[in-house]
Amino acid sequence: MEEEGINATSFQLGQTKVDVSSSSEFPDSSSNFETSDTKRSAWSTCVTIVDLVNHILIVCLTAFTLYYSVAHSVFNHTTLCTVGYVLLMSEAIVVLAGDNILTRYFTHRTKKHLHWILQLLGLICIIAGVVLMYRVKKVHFKSNHAILGITSLIIMIFLTVTGYPVFVATKLRKVIRPITIKFGHNFLGLSCFAIGMASQCLGYWKFRTMNISSKVDARLICIIVSIMIVVLSARKALPTLFQQFVKLFR
């Protein structure tokens, strides 16, 4: 009986020891969870701020270019191409990002539909702008601005015409791997956007009178903002493109 009492006591003490030691671990675990949640929340806030800044830059650059174009009677080509590239094409890429504050709560299917609608509207604006400039000028596609612009337009038309297979990529898996279709579409899409925005930058540089004052070169500001828009708009698309490239060889 004494041995049983001793064993029971030792068991209780052992269990108490285990309980104490295990309870001492809970604060550390909870603090780790709190730290992890804090870091995640801080990162989410930073991403939201970056996305908001991108939207502001897109709207401001578009508004400034439209204001300048109307004020100098060059509404047609400049306005249409700016709306097509800076506004619609940028938003068409950003709309697919999961951290986009404007479409964060949309379904993936809804985002894909918004993507092709914005891209199609951008294509219409750009084609209209190119046609109007083509009718005005006698010499065509000789400058770097024009060459980059028409190159981007050709890629965009190809993407629009061949965009449907991306929606049904899984149904075409017996013919071609879905990852191949998606990688090709994303690669050409980003290339088209980058080339088009490069043409846009050269277009800004051509307007030597595009200054806010004698001390401020608005052309340089527009070019810097354009580059920032390209980088921020492609912040999600580029990592996705790299992941798709890696999967091509698996």
d(CA 115, CA 240) in angstroms, rounded, equals: 16
Residue 25, pLDDT > 60, answer no
d(CA 149, CA 131) in angstroms, rounded, equals: 12
Instruction: Characterise 141 by phi-psi region: left (phi > 0), alpha (psi -120 to 50), beta (else).
Output: left
- Structural domains in the chain plus CATH codes: 43-247 (1.20.120.1770)
Average pLDDT along the chain = 84
Q: How confident is the model at residue 43 (pLDDT cuts 50, 70, 90)?
A: confident
* Tens of pLDDT, residues 101-133: 888 889 989 999 999 999 999 999 999 999 988
Number of H helices, E strands in the chain: 9, 0
Comparison of pLDDT for 203 and 33, the residue scoring more = 203
CB 247 within 8 A of CB 179: yes
Handedness of CA 43, 111, 90, 166 (dihedral sign): positive
pTM, whole model, 2 decimals?
0.82
d(CA 143, CA 249) in angstroms, rounded, equals: 39
> With 0-12 CB in 10 A as exposed, 13-18 as middle and 19+ as buried, what is 181?
buried
CB 125 within 8 A of CB 73: no
d(CA 85, CA 128) in angstroms, rounded, equals: 13
Comparison of pLDDT for 122 and 34, the residue scoring more = 122
* Tens of pLDDT, residues 185-223: 999 999 999 999 999 999 998 876 666 666 778 899 999
